[in-house]
Amino acid sequence: MINGTKINIEDLNLFIGNNHILKDINVQIPEKKLTVILGPSGCGKTTLLKSLNRLTDLYPEVKIQGSIFNGDEDILHPKTEITELRKKMGLLAQTPYPLPMNIYDNITYGLRISGRRKKRFLNKRVEYYLRQVSLWDEVKDRLKDPASALSIGQQQRLCLARGLSVDPDILLADEPTSALDPISSREVEELFVKLKQRYTIVMVTHILRQAKRVADYVIFMYLGEIIEHGSAEQIFEHPKNALTKSYIQGTYS
C-alpha cells in the first residue's frame, strides 16, 4: 500500500459477454497525484477508467466483479448511491460532448441539479471555473451562445470546467487530447499539470511522450492485465518487466 491512497482497486474482473476484458486488477491510485494508465489500444484502459465511476452501468452485457474503494465506500457495491459518488469524479472524455445548452448553462448544470439556484452564486462559479481552464477571456462576452459553437479545443476545456464545477476530488480523463490539434492539446495538458496539485487525476493515454511529461504514477496495462505499476521515475527509468521495457523504448509495435 502506498502512502495517501485515494482509490483502492481489489480483485477487479470485468466481462463483456464472454470476453474477459479486465483480469484480476489490483492497484492503488495515489491521492493528489496524476496517475497515467498507459498501454496499447484495446488493452482495457478506458474500461478500467469507466469502472471507476460505474459508467459501465450504461452498457448491456457488462459483468463486473471485485471492489473499488474510494475511502471506505465500495463504488461497485450495488447499494452505493452512485449519483452522489459520480459528483466526486469529474470526467473528461476523448471527444468533448458539451450539453445541448449554452456555455453558461453547461457550467451551471451540475450545480443546478444539486439545487444551487442563486443567480449571483452561479455567476461567480461560472467565472471561476472558466478562469480555471483559461477560457474566460475567450468566452466572457458570449456566455449565452450555444456551447456547440465553440472550437473543439475550447469545447474540451469547457467540458473540463464543467467537470470541475461539481467540486470533485477526482478527475478521470480518457485520452483527453487525442481529438485535439497540437496547440489545444498542449493547453489541455498544461491544465492537467496545473490541476494535479489539487485533484487526484487518473488519465488514460497511449501517447508515451505525454505520459512522460505529466505522470507522477504509472499503471502499464496489456491485454486486460496490469503488467507493472509504480512511480513515473521507476517505470520510465527502470522498468522491471520486459513488456513494459519494450513499450517504453518504443520497440513494441
Q: Which residues bind another protein (CB under 8 A)?
A: 50, 53, 55, 57-61, 83-84, 86-87, 89-91, 93-95, 97, 99-102, 109-110, 113-114, 146, 159, 162-163, 165-166, 172
Residue 110 Cβ vs another protein, minimum distance, rounded to whole Å: 4
Looking at the Cβ atoms of 39 and 96, the one nearer to another protein is 96
Distance separating alpha carbons of residues 123 and 134, to the nearest angstrom: 16
Looking at the Cβ atoms of 113 and 193, the one nearer to another protein is 113
Return all residues near 231 (Cβ < 8 A) that are at least 6 apart: 216, 217, 218
Residue 163 Cβ vs another protein, minimum distance, rounded to whole Å: 7
- Please state whether beta strands 170-174 and 89-92 pair in parallel, antiparallel, or not at all (unpaired): parallel
DSSP class per residue in 111-165: HHHTT---HHHHHHHHHHHHHHTT-HHHHTT-TTSBGGGS-HHHHHHHHHHHHHH
Residue 44 Cβ vs another protein, minimum distance, rounded to whole Å: 17
The set of cell numbers assigned to 90 is 469529474
Looking at the Cβ atoms of 101 and 223, the one nearer to another protein is 101
Of 99, 74, 94, nearest to 176 (Cα)?
A: 94
Looking at the Cβ atoms of 65 and 114, the one nearer to another protein is 114
Residue 146 Cβ vs another protein, minimum distance, rounded to whole Å: 6
Q: Which helix (H) or strand (E) holds 20?
A: strand 19-30
- Please state whether beta strands 170-174 and 200-205 pair in parallel, antiparallel, or not at all (unpaired): parallel
Residue 89 Cβ vs another protein, minimum distance, rounded to whole Å: 7
Looking at the Cβ atoms of 166 and 207, the one nearer to another protein is 166
